[in-house]
Amino acid sequence: MLLGIIFVIIFLSVLILVHELGHFLTAKKFGLLVEEFGFGLPPKIWGKKIGETIYSINALPFGGFVKIYGENRDESENDNPNLQINPNTPNEIKIIESELSYKLTGLFFETHKQIGRFAREKQHGDFLENLFKQNEINYKREVPISIGGSNSNIVDFIVEDKIIIELKSKPFIGKSDYYQTKRYLDAANLELGLIVNFRETYLKPKRVLNYKDGVVGEDSKQFVDLNEIRSFGLLSIWKRAVILVSGVLMNFLFGWLVISVILSLGVPQSVVISEIFKGTPAETAGLKVGDAILGMSTNDFIKFTNDNKGKEIIVKVERDGVEKEIKATPRTNPPAGEGALGIGLFESGAPSQNFFLALWDGMKMSVEIVRMIFIALFNLIVGVFSGGKVGLEQVSGPVGIVKITAQASGLGIVYLLQLLALISFNLAVINIFPFPALDGGRLFFLLIEKIKGSPLPAKFENYANAAGMALLLILMVVITIRDIVRF
């Protein structure tokens, strides 16, 4: 049982970490601010910040987590000092932030991605200008700005007669860059400027606000990083959906890879005892689940026991790598479905395959397994609500999984890998189910947002997710109690 517990912890940690890795990679791909990627659950033991993300190891060895800025819609700008906005900001500036500047920032990221960090400012400007044209954004390029009677000052872009854009390609943005943009805003009587330094590894456009409320001090919030543009909540619906689905997809891909590796390596063929009925000759003789019967196929063994009903026979088995000879006497009139010895058998094993062929066969097998899990989940739900034969008694919780894993560990590494793949597929199916607190539930909220044109109230989503999590925990407790009674 201890070995089963250890394997379950390892399995769940690996599978949850794989799931969270899917969210992490797609969030990074879409340029979001990923604040932390953790192995295990808090409290934190160790952490190191690499770039803008903290990579941590935590005390509870159960999976992992990824913290994406803006994933929690109650997450306010006050939670991050770099994202604070002056409360006296005019409404016009807030409108600009929520509309045009968000769109512009997406174009900045596209330029950074396509042109790279070390191109000349003109190359960045040319590419950005083409994006403006494609997106039908009104702009003026290389606009002269009169400061102190001199027209020698040129700004890179003025967009929609509202925003000044200054393009840079330098190691860092200094205070002089902020103040220069502020002077441009004063001279042009505009209120928002964006400084874009394409030399940065992680692009962070800087915002300069012109409040016209006096002298700008050193600690003024008029100069703010636009990290909020990299918030999960500000992405388009389809990108948020991709991030949510990516965890499920990673669990499927991981299960597919494990199945393919098993098929590629091949599995030794054998007849294995899968079940022993109580009060039967097999139980009396000391046969155990996981014993591999040697020297016979399933049909040969069934014929052998039927031909020797009432006679003592010797069954050669392999258990934990050791061959044993066990004496047993098959029954003459066994109950239906139990057989003369009272055991269940299954044939395992498969010849090794070419890896690419194994990938294809593994894909077909993975799709079929997922299909069967969906059907089983549907029948389970119908059974629970209709009072049919299929219900919670068919579900295994932590205790049941530990017992199954312990049995699989006795059968060998191949069976453990098969169980790992099966659990991975189950996690994928359960997570995509449209239930609050699961990825599928959040996808369902996105679908509602798409249909109605606006998101559901944040409080409603939070309450729904909290209620969903509570129901899942209650269900887990009920199933665990059932497992304890059964096992």
| Position 136 in a domain | yes
Q: pLDDT by residue (tens digit) across 41-69?
A: 888 899 998 877 899 999 887 778 899 88
Asked if 211 and 321 sit in the same domain, the reply is no
Give the pLDDT score at 442.
92
Angle between helices 2-29 and 237-265 (to 10 degrees): 140
Q: pLDDT by residue (tens digit) across 409-435?
A: 666 677 788 888 989 999 999 999 999
Asked if 63 and 92 sit in the same domain, the reply is no
Give the pLDDT score at 169.
85
Is residue 297 within 8 A of residue 280, CB to CB? The reply is: no
Q: Give residue 196's domain range.
A: 79-230
* Cα distances (angstroms) measured from residue 284 to each of 281, 287, 331: 5, 8, 12
For range 101-116, the mean pLDDT: 86
Query: 42-65 burial, b for 16+ CB within 10 Å, e for fewer?
Result: eeeeeeeeeeebbebebeeeebbb
Asked if 340 and 422 sit in the same domain, the reply is no
Asked if 38 and 87 sit in the same domain, the reply is no
pLDDT interval class at 401 (50, 70, 90): low
Please name which of 77, 79, 71 lies closest in space to residue 89, comparing C-alpha atoms.
77
Give the pLDDT score at 240.
92
Domain closes at, from 350, 365, 400: 350
| Position 33 in a domain | yes
User: Residue 212 pLDDT more than 70?
Assistant: no
Amino acid, res. 80? N
**Structurally, how many domains does the chain consist of?**
4
| Position 48 in a domain | yes
Give the pLDDT score at 313.
92
Q: Which residue has the higher pLDDT, 200 or 82?
A: 200
Asked if 104 and 68 sit in the same domain, the reply is no
Give the pLDDT score at 202.
76
Q: Which residue has the higher pLDDT, 432 or 349?
A: 432
Give the pLDDT score at 387.
61
| Position 262 in a domain | no
